[in-house]
Amino acid sequence: MGTGLKRDSATDIIKQFETSSSQRRSLSSVGIFLAVALVAGIATICVFFACRRWNRTLYAPKSRMIAPQALGALTRMTPWGWIRNVYQWRADDILKMTGTDALVFLEFVRLMSISLTVIAIPMCLVLVPVDATYTSPSDESVPQSNSASGRSSQTHDKLLYATIGHVDGPRLWAHVTFGYLATVAILGLIYRSYQKVIRLRQEYFGSNEYQGSYFSRTLMLTDISPDIVTDAALRESLELANSLYKFSEVQLGLSMNNLPTLLSQHKDIVLKLERALDKTLRSHLQNRPLISPDKEWYRCSGTRVDAIDYYTKELRNLEHQIISARSESEVTLPETYGFASLPNVFIAHSAAHHYSKLKPKDFSVRLAPRPSDIIWSNLTMSSLERQKSRWFARALLLLLFLLNTIPLILAALVSNLEAFASISSFIDRWQHSISFAALTGIVPPLISLTASLILPQIMRKIIIYRGVRTRQSRDLHLTTQYFIFLVLTQFVLFSLISVFLDLALMIKSAIDNNQAATEAVADIITGILAAITHRFQLLSSYWMTWIVLRGYLLLFELAQIRRLVFLLLNRYILPHTPRDIWMFKKPQSFSYWMAYAELLLLTAVGLIYAPLAPIVTAFSAGVFILALIVYKNQLYYVCFTKSETGGRLWSVVVKCLLTLVACMQIILALVVGLLQNWIKAITCIPPVLFVVAFALFCHFKLEPNFRWYTPAAISIDKMQKIVSHSDHQRLERQFGNPFLHQPLSRPIVRAQYMDLVGQLYQGPVISSKYTTEDLLSIPHSTLLPLSATVSTDANTMDDDSVLNCDISRHSLDEAIEMESLYPSLNSNDMDQKVFLNNQNADCLYCDSTEKNHVSDPSCSGLIPPDASTNDSAAESLLPKQYLPPLDSILTDDASLSKDSLPSAGSELDVVNEYVYVPPTENTLSRPTSSRQYRPLPTPPK
């Protein structure tokens, strides 16, 4: 008896879980959530307006990377100036500040905002009245879902009257018609944007920066056969595979032995030493921290030693090992990768395209990325190691998928909490209150959002185990993988949790009624399809609140609340080091893959619900319009592109978008088949065929023009052009393993404690003066100059046009990294700066061989201007970037003075305020020679 009662109670819970949605709960939940989001959004905008004007470091960190002569007197930002600029900015402005990747991303956001708006407005004006007038609002009962029709029995949700769920007869064809129109409109807009992106990418390939960069005419060879062990053998294999292309230089990668491990250990020790020094200096040398050595951490009775002394000793030992490893002349083992350079960019692209079709068995060929874009730890992996790593990554993804179902189930339970009213008198009494509506309306989206906050970082860690060799490949995989993961967990699995419970009820009913197997399977299939469509309709109110929450998160990102709270806590409550503050105040790199995936999920909700519940699509369109404003501001003022790819993610995003358009039609066909019959559902199939045909057109016609450089006209002479000098040293400089010349980290010490640090640590340190302070407050001689031009017309400038500067995009990332590296050589000479350049008059980025080559807008190299020019001319010819001492540590020499320097043309050349210092024997660097510059010391008074 008791067992039967328990079974009946469990069955009632499952049934009510399927159809638990009341008029009061749905309308109240959505209304309360909208009110809360509106109040929170207004408060967030007020915080943004109040803080933005006085905190340039947080809300316009890019301005810290621009020299004062570019800023002029425009140092204030008005609270409302950014709004006007967001509407006035053109593509060229974003291109100059952030690059092609940012412009392509904004094109995607603009495409979706226009597409969703175009299909939402007519659908809301036509389909919502059609749906709402079909069933009278006075009807208090709507047919309940059964195994055949999927209609609901006691669903008092007025929001469902604006959906397709209760429409039948001729009115249903209005949804089918608008499904056709929506598909055609989206495909047309995608084609228009695709053509625009192709033009942008071809302009990127043809730009002076890309044409003058060495990596752009270099191929990266991977999975090289073990039989190829020399450069000559690799060149021979390339020419045997295809003799059409003449290579300027071919080099095979060499093993670095234990050098990567040593550098990683060195960096960890520096961070630990930095924290120990900071703690001691803040206590005015009164509190020296003690630690247990790492080798004895597992011993309870391990001896505790002075942390600073221990880390100093470990640091010196590691530095000696690194110097020894870098200076070894013994031949190392060849690796399974290499690089080959060609005469120009067009030939390099043609060769890469040709080799991708040939697919030679001894190696794989692709265009070389920027040297900083290579993941060297994965590049050196063998095929067996990469295969094992991929299986491990798949296992981690499966585990993450299972763990992510826990918060989703919790969110589904809270969203359908009234299903438990039959077994809980408390819930039965509480379900009619406002607090119950607030709980079931606000908490589920928050649970889902909280679970998704940590997903991107976990996915990013897992993707490294797949053995991807470049950051570009990593982002391509992450975009698709993260989008699929979000759709499966946040959209499909969450929507179909109750369907699984309904399936259990159907199986139990079939067993109890002793149905035949074939009849039971047919009923279960029909019932499951009906439950799926009914569940999507019931969740329309949930997705409205979820979309509104996504919109608030955009405002949250605009106001930089998270970073603002971090800075306040670290300033007044939590301990921090200068490096912590600098890392948080510097411009943040923009994660395009994460933004694309999250916006694609928002697109999935808007498109799939377009023919089912157009109001949801209208909400999505509004959030995309807000996203366009917010991301435009963030990409212009706050974020930068860490590794420019020319919008490479576009083709992957378009494929995901076309998949969503096809899914929209499939869901509509499923609904028509259940509400009418499956023969009529075939009328929804032609748009799917349109999408497939358009996808094939994009793949075979548009994508080749997108991926490869295809200039309009090119002469035979230019195609046959061969560089006049050897590329051997340039290829080694650009694509030699960075562990050979990677800079050694140095502890950062607070500027006010620089006079005390010598009592604790005698090694080289960096003053926080050059890392944590706003660069605008530092003298001009300590700035890292960038190429920047500002209109001098006072009538065309306002407070927010300060950032309208032409910044070298690939140098911005270097500038950010260099802000903490280019100061001091030692603790006693903090004002010396060292800059590096190629000594043999061969520009690092272009083919110029002139001795006094001056950097121009088409080149990002650094060769000093002629010292014989006057001061004003020399200042105007200053190169647009100074490469820091990534691989050099000069001897401490502060004895130079301006009067003691030789004249121009002798051993030391004065260039404006910098002096050329020939390489010394004590210079620790890779075997290639380089020019080095340091500022002139201040003459004694």
Q: What's the mean pLDDT in 388-414? A: 85
Q: Report the alpha-carbon distance of residue 586 to residue 852 in Å, rounded.
A: 34
Q: What is the 3-state secondary structure (H, E, C) of 340-400?
A: EECCCHHHHHHHHHHHHHHCCCCCEEEECCCHHHECHHHHCCCHHHHHHHHHHHHHHHHHH
Token pair, residue 758, equals 């010598």
Closest to 190 (Cα-Cα) out of 662, 551, 646: 662
Q: Please give the pLDDT value at position 208.
A: 86
Please give the share of the chain, as a percent, with pLDDT higher than 70.
68
Which residues, in sequence order, are CB contacts of 762 under 8 Å at separation 6+? Answer: 827
Instruction: Tell me the CA end-to-end span of the chain in Å, nearest whole number.
Output: 103
Instruction: Report the DSSP beta bridge partners of residue 338.
Output: 221, 252
Q: What's the mean pLDDT in 184-199? A: 96
Top pLDDT among 486 and 878 is at: 486
Q: What's the mean pLDDT in 226-255? A: 86
Residue range 47-63, pLDDT digits in tens: 888 888 777 778 888 77
Taking all residues of the chain, what is their mean pLDDT, rounded to a whole number? 72
Q: Please give the pLDDT value at position 445.
A: 77
Asked whether residue 799 carries a pLDDT value surpassing 80, the answer given is no
Q: Please give the pLDDT value at position 862.
A: 33
Q: Report the alpha-carbon distance of residue 411 to residue 447 in Å, rounded.
A: 6
Q: What's the mean pLDDT in 502-527? A: 73
Let me know if 649 is exposed, middle or buried by CB neighbors in 10 A (0-12, 13-18, 19+). buried
Q: Please give the pLDDT value at position 575.
A: 75
Which residues, in sequence order, are CB contacts of 39 under 8 Å at separation 6+? Answer: none
Closest to 639 (Cα-Cα) out of 104, 110, 94, 210: 94
Asked whether residue 438 carries a pLDDT value surpassing 50, the answer given is yes
> SS3 for 786?
coil
Q: Report the alpha-carbon distance of residue 766 to residue 780 in Å, rounded.
A: 18
Residue range 887-932, pLDDT digits in tens: 222 223 333 333 333 333 333 232 333 333 333 333 333 333 333 3
Residue range 526-558, pLDDT digits in tens: 777 777 777 777 778 888 888 998 999 999 989
Q: Evaluate whether 234 touches 362 at the Cβ level (below 8 Å).
A: no
Top pLDDT among 436 and 791 is at: 436
Q: What's the mean pLDDT in 781-808? A: 33
Closest to 618 (Cα-Cα) out of 116, 64, 22, 96: 116
Q: Please give the pLDDT value at position 729.
A: 67
Q: Report the alpha-carbon distance of residue 145 to residue 234 in Å, rounded.
A: 68
Residue 220's alpha-carbon distances to 207, 241, 367, 705, in angstroms, are: 22, 15, 6, 21
Residue range 146-176, pLDDT digits in tens: 433 344 444 445 666 777 766 777 778 888 9
Q: Which amino acid is at 494?
A: F
Residue range 688-746, pLDDT digits in tens: 999 999 999 999 999 999 999 988 655 445 544 444 445 666 677 667 777 777 788 88
**Residue 302, CB-side half-sphere exposure with 13 Å CA sphere:** 13
Top pLDDT among 40 and 528 is at: 40
Weakest-pLDDT range from 395-404, 447-456, 728-737: 728-737
Q: Please give the pLDDT value at position 605.
A: 93
Residue range 476-501, pLDDT digits in tens: 999 999 999 989 888 888 777 767 76
Top pLDDT among 67 and 676 is at: 676
Q: What's the mean pLDDT in 388-398? A: 89
Angle at 510 between CA 505 and CA 512, to 5 degrees: 95
* 637 secondary structure, DSSP code: I
Q: Report the alpha-carbon distance of residue 693 to residue 462 in Å, rounded.
A: 34
**Residue 299, CB-side half-sphere exposure with 13 Å CA sphere:** 10
Token pair, residue 83, equals 């709004």
Asked whether residue 804 carries a pLDDT value surpassing 70, the answer given is no
Asked whether residue 837 carries a pLDDT value surpassing 50, the answer given is no
Residue range 626-639, pLDDT digits in tens: 999 999 989 888 88
Looking at mean pLDDT, say which of 60-74, 209-223, 851-865 comes out highest: 209-223
CA dihedral of residues 828, 830, 831, 832 (deg, nearest 10): 80
Q: What would you report as the CA-atom Rg of the chain, rounded to the nearest whole angstrom?
A: 32
Q: Please give the pLDDT value at position 157.
A: 59
Residue range 305-351, pLDDT digits in tens: 889 999 999 999 999 888 888 776 445 678 889 999 998 899 999 99
Asked whether residue 214 carries a pLDDT value surpassing 90, the answer given is no
Asked whether residue 70 carries a pLDDT value surpassing 90, the answer given is no
Q: Please give the pLDDT value at position 652.
A: 96
Asked whether residue 182 carries a pLDDT value surpassing 60, the answer given is yes
Q: Please give the pLDDT value at position 523.
A: 75
Residue 800's alpha-carbon distances to 63, 76, 616, 711, in angstroms, are: 11, 8, 36, 37
Q: Report the alpha-carbon distance of residue 396 to residue 394 in Å, rounded.
A: 5
Top pLDDT among 744 and 822 is at: 744
Q: Please give the pLDDT value at position 128.
A: 85
Residue range 746-788, pLDDT digits in tens: 898 888 888 888 888 888 888 887 654 433 332 222 222 333 3
Closest to 114 (Cα-Cα) out of 188, 17, 40: 188
Q: Helix 540-559 and helix 434-453: axis angle, to 10°?
A: 60
Token pair, residue 203, equals 């302009």
Residue range 354-363, pLDDT digits in tens: 998 888 888 9
Q: Evaluate whether 623 touches 81 at the Cβ level (below 8 Å).
A: no
Which residues, in sequence order, are CB contacts of 225 under 8 Å at separation 6+? Answer: 237, 361, 362, 363
Residue range 256-298, pLDDT digits in tens: 778 888 888 999 999 999 999 999 998 888 888 888 875 544 4
Q: Report the alpha-carbon distance of residue 253 to residue 916 in Å, rounded.
A: 33
Residue range 288-307, pLDDT digits in tens: 888 887 554 444 556 788 89
Let me know if 768 is exposed, middle or buried by CB neighbors in 10 A (0-12, 13-18, 19+). buried
Q: Please give the pLDDT value at position 677.
A: 77
